[in-house]
Structure formats: structure tokens, C-alpha cells
Amino acid sequence: MLGIAKPALIEQLVEHLHGNPETGLPAFVLYLKNNLTALLIIWCGGFVPAIAPLLHILGTGFILGSLLVDRGVLYSFLSIFPHGIVEIPAYLLGNAFSLRLGLRWIFQKTAGERKRTFVTDLLNSLKIGLLCMFLIFIAAMIETFATPKILAAYEKEHFAGIGVQLAIQEHQLAITHVFPGSPASKAGLSSGLLIQRIDGTETTGKDIRQYRETLHGRVGTRVKLEVIDTAHSTTNTVELMREIKP
């Protein structure tokens, strides 16, 4: 729903999610640190009670929804499945036992029962925490060394582009940002230009996601744009070769 209402926000989020420049061992350390921190927050949040696990579930759903809106089902699956098959069970276990730790003792009738229940659940959550840490370690390895290769192979066929961000302004398709060094930048395109046609088809009657899909394609293929420079009242046609964003 957010992606439909605020597509520009989703695009910015996905750019952020794919903005990690680290590779190899530094990337592994970064992924491991972030995931273990999230796991620790989930576990500690069980004491307050259960707020952090619930927030984590909502946050994860937001990120997954963002990927689905921006990149589609298959890309989302490839982004998540290789390491997610290990990471998701770790978070599910962590969330489940944190929720149990934060909630079950509240419903006991006496102080003694609440104390025994809390201590038992605390010890169990610590044991499960060690298992989750091991799963997170394996997931970080996969996310570092396997997932990027799978995504790179997919993106080479489907997500090469021309290096622009788009928005609908007064019912017209406008370039809002041009990435330095991109095909659009090399062709002299700049923010503020309006795209009237893409490969001869007028840019009317579509949403922002459909425009992005039209501009994306295989590496090395070409796309022709008819752009309007309202500042100088000129119309130009440029042909660009799609490249993978650096």
C-alpha cells in the first residue's frame, strides 16, 4: 500500500538497501554485526514486554513489501531466499521466544508462578539465542558470498538501466535525478527534463513502476527517449545503452 501511495519513498528505500559498497570479508562482518545487533535488540525487547519483537516483525514486513513493489516477486525471492532460508528461521525463533519471555509470565496468577515462569523462559531463550546466533553466522556467509552472485546474474538480464530517478510531475514523467557516470549523464540529460516518449510510445496512462520497467532491460540493449527541455522550449531525441548501475 505504501509503495502505491509513495513510490518515490520505496525507490529511495531500495536504493538504501542496495547501497552497501562493502564486499568480501568486510561485508560479512557488517552483515553479521547488523543481524546480531537486531537479534540482541529482539531478545532484550522481550523484557518491555515484547515491543521489540513486534516492531521487528513490522519492519521486516515493510522491507519485504518495498522489494515486492519496486522489483517484483522473482527479484524479491532471489534477494531473500539464499540466506533467508537460514536467517528467517533464526529471526522467527528469536521473535517467538522473545514474545514468550515478554508475555507468558504476565498471565500467571501468583508472584511465585510469575518468577518461575520468567526464569524458565529466560533460560530457554538464552539456549535458543545461541542457536539463532549460529544460524545468523551461516546466513551472513551466504548473504556475503552467494546472494550477490545470484542477484548480479539476474540483474544483468533484467535490471540494466540508464541511471535516472523518475517522478510524475503535473501528469508528466520527469527526471528528478541523474546518477553521475550513468548513460543518462553521459548523454547530457539532467534533472527537470520531461520524457515524452520511450521507444516511440507516449508516456501517458502508466504508473511510475511501469515507466521504470520500460527503461530497464538487458545490458547493452538500447532505449530511445524523446525529452522536453521546458526551460529552453526544445525537444530532443536521445538513444542510450543500458548499463548496470555501478
Domain ranges of the chain: 2-156, 160-241
Give the CA distances from residue 77 to residues 65, 71, 141, 186, 197, in Å, rounded to whole numbers and listed in that order. 12, 10, 18, 33, 32
What letter represents residue 69's amino acid?
V
Residue identified by cell 522481550 is: 46
Give per-10-residue mean pLDDT for the chain (246 aa): 42 46 75 82 63 57 53 68 84 78 77 85 85 91 86 75 88 90 92 92 80 83 92 91 77
Residue 155 in grid coordinates? 540483474
Q: Are 166 and 212 in contact (CB under 8 A)?
A: yes
Other CB atoms closer than 10 Å to residue 130's CB: what's the count? 9
pLDDT value of residue 55: 61
Other CB atoms closer than 10 Å to residue 114's CB: what's the count? 15
What does the angle CA 64 – CA 51 – CA 79 come to, to the nearest 5 degrees? 15
180 CB-near residues (< 8 Å, 6+ apart): none
Positive or negative, the CA dihedral 172, 236, 15, 140 is positive
* Nearest to 91, CA basis, from 33, 29, 35, 17: 35
* Nearest to 102, CA basis, from 89, 90, 118: 118
CA–CA dist 245, 156 (Å, integer): 10
27 CB-near residues (< 8 Å, 6+ apart): 20, 144
pLDDT value of residue 2: 39
CATH number belonging to the domain at 160-241, selected among 1.10.760.10, 2.30.42.10, 3.40.50.720, 3.40.50.300: 2.30.42.10
pLDDT value of residue 233: 87
pLDDT value of residue 138: 93
CA–CA dist 3, 68 (Å, integer): 9
Q: Are 242 and 220 in contact (CB under 8 A)?
A: yes
230 CB-near residues (< 8 Å, 6+ apart): 192, 194
